[in-house]
Amino acid sequence: MKRTNYIIANWKMNGTEKSISVIKSIQKYVLRKRISVSKIVICPPFTILGSFIKKTHKTISFGAQDTHYEDLGAFTGSISSLMLKSLGVKYVIVGHSERRQYQNESVSELSKKINSTLSKNLKVIFCIGEKFNEINKRSSILKKQLSSLPKKFSNKNIIIAYEPVWAIGTGKTPTLKQINNIHKTIRKMIHRKIGKEALKISIIYGGSVNSNNSKDILALSDVDGALVG
């Protein structure tokens, strides 16, 4: 079954207003090459999201790196999905391993973030993945992480990003066969949850994706794009 392919760039805590030149270069490349196979989503810091959205052609979509589960309130330093939608954001990353690690985000908290984001008709990029010392129990770890998802969802509102934590920024990656098989396993887990709709869900790969390995990774039958950054 044909699924939507995504190239998603997570800028993390990098970029300023001057970085619009990078966006413009990507935009020109996409328009010149007429790239239509993949949807391109860029997730810069909150501080430049609104400005970039106003200055960029619709060939590129924008996402946020996180959200709070409440719309408004006394949550210093937080930004809600309601606020993100007002900026023109279309996607929100939820559950990135760095957020899980440094902010101790739990299954229940992530579930609330997902539900809040979906209620604003924004698309969730939901990150899952095991640490190096969890490789032998990968399936149970991924199953637990996937439990944050609602009982019903579809390819219209959820993208799954598999990022083995031990591969992020290390230059290490699973073998191509391992990546494809893990994606198949994730799809089976989702199938138990939502049935045949799982065949339509885009499952993308992240974790030391670079110019040397991206072509081979993106060619895998069960990989529907990449989360880079």
Whole-angstrom Cα distance, residue 68 to residue 170?
A: 29
Q: Which active-site residues does the annotation give?
A: 96, 163
Q: Which amino acid is at 18?
A: K
Q: Which amino acid is at 118?
A: L
Q: Where are the beta strands (DSSP E) in the chain?
A: 5-10, 38-43, 60-64, 91-94, 123-128, 158-162, 203-206, 225-228
Q: How open is the CA angle 170-41-168, to the nearest 5 degrees? A: 10
Whole-angstrom Cα distance, residue 111 to residue 37?
A: 31
Q: How many CB atoms lie under 10 A from the CB of residue 198?
A: 20
Contact 222, 202 (CB under 8 A): no
Three-class SS string for 194-217?
A: HHHHHHHCCEEEECCCCCCCHHHH
